[in-house]
Structure 1
Amino acid sequence: MSRYKIAVLPGDGIGPEVVTEAVLLLEEIGKQYNHQFDFKYGKIGGVAVDEVGTPLPGETIELCKSSDAVLLGAVGGPKWDNEPPVRKPETGLLGIRKALQLYANLRPVTLFSSLIHSSPLKREVVLDTDILIVRELTGGIYFGTPRERRVGENGVEVVDTLFYTEKEMERIIRKGFELAQGRKKKLTSVDKANVLESSRLWREVANRIAVDYPDVELSHMLVDNAAMQLIRNPRQFDVIVTENMFGDILSDEASMLTGSLGMLPSASLGVSGPGLYEPIHGSAPDIAGKQVANPLATILSTALLLRHSLGLEEEANLVEQAVDKALEQGYRTQDIGSEWERVLCTSQMGEAVRSYLKATIKN
């Protein structure tokens, strides 16, 4: 029997609801494949602020560091909007990424054929969309200093600093090339080299590294053009690699190609140690506790967890196939459903996926 320790951080809003379905799915995988998953729960985000006064307790950091992988729900909500920066839930998320030295965020954007009507774009535009966005996670304007608000001669002044090292750029761009080698061998590097000095260095580094990957076609695209091209012709992309803020924005835009944020998983990986897996949607406090949240992004995140942290490729593929099968059979949550389809609550959708998973194994 293989044994794995999984740190579970449900977080805020709908986080606990969708994480519950992911845990139940992993338990079913364990039964079917003779794996033992030991789930250890920790606090992060707003719930941690309320209970212990900080969005990232030291106990949570230690739990994650001692685990094989981390499963996260969501953090944040308007309840904590007026908290000082050190107590904001999002500070906890940034903090755990830093503590685990997670530098590469992988966001697959795959349109399931049965959901093509859910996309706001035309069928002929989004059909066969399959993109992997690789986002740098530890540098850029989100982490640069100085960062301050001050009063000057013309009133309030603010400063945010975009800071990157060549080493940080090289690490994430190389990851992009490696991932492209396992796909269609096409890498698009997104920057703003016509304006930003950081982007000019980014492009130089990408061109230099490209020599080491002659089998991968490298192209460059300015971020404003990339935002347009994602909507105009998403099928032109295979792997996109970009810096922190650009990746944050483009991946949320790309989510609408699939019809809902509730369909997109993510993986955050470091050089070593546990990866962190989470849906890219927020905490959605307006629907928290109502059992209407879509758990599929979190369930698909468990597939990434199985694949990237535990090396269980067969099990990961099985999870993705079970999600595909449930969707093919018309099962939906309210964010991707219509009046003529079977709209399920959160737990019912989780059960549907588990049922197809078991059926696939038996066959």
Structure 2
Amino acid sequence: MPSAKTLLMLPGDGIGPEVMAEVRRVIEWMDRRRHVSFDIAEGLVGGCAYDVCGEAVSDQTMADAMKADAVLLGAVGGPKWDKVPFDKRPEAGLLRLRKDMDLFANLRPAVVFDALAEASTLKLDVIKGLDIMIVRELTGGVYFGEPRGIETLPDGTRRGVNTQVYTTPEIQRVARVAFELARKRANRLVSAEKANVMESGLLWREEVQKLHDAEFPDVQLTHMYADNCAMQLVRNPKQFDVIVTDNLFGDVLSDEASMATGSLGMLPSASLGAADAKGRRRAMYEPVHGSAPDIAGKGIANPLATLLSFAMMLRYSFDMAEDANLIEQAVKNVLNGGLRTADIMQKGKARVSTTVMGESIVKELDKLAA
């Protein structure tokens, strides 16, 4: 049996624990049928961590995350914690994980499953077969730049300040991840910024071009203004393969691409750090959807985005592409078979609970592995 792989599970708030339970079910299947063992620890992050220790993530949980081969996160947040101090809100735990682990590259695939193509608000011929990857810089830019804050001016009015700042190394390391991904896909990369009105955007464009010329001349590189990229994602999304962009624009563009698929509850993500001398990267995986506190505890949440995030973990952290492919194929087959959770329910399909969806994935895995 291969040596155990260390995995820190952070279920978080809302529906996080429910969807994470279905990942546990798949891990048990892998142990039983694929002879793959995981050494699993569990911790608190988000509102539940604040309730216990007064912080959105504790120092101990951070230490566990730094040591783990990979972190799998459910979701954080909810109205219960709307009035806690800003630096202790559930989202602060997520930002600390990203920052302290130096997870600078956020990978958000936007894939339209054939069985769900009609769920998109875009026309079927525009969206069917969509498979793009957005690479978002995650630890720099306007979300982390200094100075920042809100101040009162002498005349009594107030001013809010955030600073957009990037350096050559920050730009090139995330662009390198995007170029490498493009080489494994259709060998096309679009870099999105606002070089026409922002100096940080001009630097971004110049540094991405320099890296392309020096290391990736075989990849087709196109530069595009971020606002045009947003328009093109609605107009003709299948023109894209891999998109790389900064933290702010990546936040917006990846959400737009996600909704173009029509199934926010279906989309996974990965956040990766730099590879060390042995090729190991710190990494965290999480579904794109939020904590959905309005449906928490009702057994109706969709676990598929979390399961697909686990599949991304197998692929990028453990080099287990075959197992990742099995899970992704199982999801496709179950959807093709007509099973739906409430968020993706369609006329004529069978509505199932969170647990039944998880059980159905395991049954399909049994068939695929037979």
TM-score w.r.t. length of structure 2: 0.96
Overall identity of the aligned pairs, in % = 51
2:209 aligned residue: 207
1:294 aligned residue: 302
Q: Does 1:262 align with 2:265?
A: yes
1:293-352 Cα distance to aligned partner (Å, 9 max, x none): 111110000110001111111101101000000011011111111231011111111111
Counterpart CA distance in 1 for 2:347 and 2:125 is 24
The amino acid that maps onto 1:270 is G
* Contact residue 101 and residue 282 of structure 2 kept, 8 A: yes
The amino acid that maps onto 1:144 is G
The amino acid that maps onto 1:266 is S
2:278 aligned residue: none
Counterpart CA distance in 2 for 1:31 and 1:108 is 29
Secondary structure in 2 aligned to 1:195?
Answer: coil
Displacement of 1:154 = 5.2
Greater alpha carbon shift after TM alignment, 262-271 vs 78-87: 78-87
C-alpha RMSD over aligned residues: 1.0
Gapped regions of structure 1 (runs ≥ 5): none
The amino acid that maps onto 1:229 is Q
1:251 aligned residue: 254
Secondary structure in 1 aligned to 2:346?
Answer: coil
Q: Does 1:220 align with 2:228?
A: no
Q: Which runs of 4+ in 1 moved over 3 A?
A: none
Aligned ranges for residues 144-163 of structure 1 at < 5 Å? Answer: 144-152=145-153, 153=155, 155-163=157-165
* Contact residue 42 and residue 60 of structure 1 kept, 8 A: yes
1:18 aligned residue: 19
Q: Which residue of 175, 178, 184 maps to 1:182? A: 184
Secondary structure in 2 aligned to 1:274?
Answer: strand
The amino acid that maps onto 1:198 is S
The amino acid that maps onto 2:207 is V
* Contact residue 27 and residue 37 of structure 1 kept, 8 A: no
1:83-128 Cα distance to aligned partner (Å, 9 max, x none): 2122111110010111211111111111111111111111100011
1:53-86 Cα distance to aligned partner (Å, 9 max, x none): 0001011011111211111000111111222122
Greater alpha carbon shift after TM alignment, 18-27 vs 231-240: 18-27
Aligned ranges for residues 50-199 of structure 1 at < 5 Å? Answer: 50-152=51-153, 153=155, 155-199=157-201
1:236 aligned residue: 239
Counterpart CA distance in 2 for 1:180 and 1:62 is 33
2:46 aligned residue: 45
1:312 aligned residue: 320
Displacement of 1:360 = 0.4
The amino acid that maps onto 1:233 is N
Q: Which residue of 313, 326, 332 maps to 2:334? A: 326
Counterpart CA distance in 2 for 1:302 and 1:203 is 33
Give aligned pairs, total: 362
Q: Does 1:359 align with 2:346?
A: no
Gapped regions of structure 2 (runs ≥ 5): 276-280
The amino acid that maps onto 1:155 is T
1:197-226 Cα distance to aligned partner (Å, 9 max, x none): 110000001111111212211001111111
Counterpart CA distance in 1 for 2:261 and 2:302 is 13
* Contact residue 26 and residue 302 of structure 1 kept, 8 A: no
TM-score w.r.t. length of structure 1: 0.98
* Contact residue 11 and residue 74 of structure 2 kept, 8 A: yes
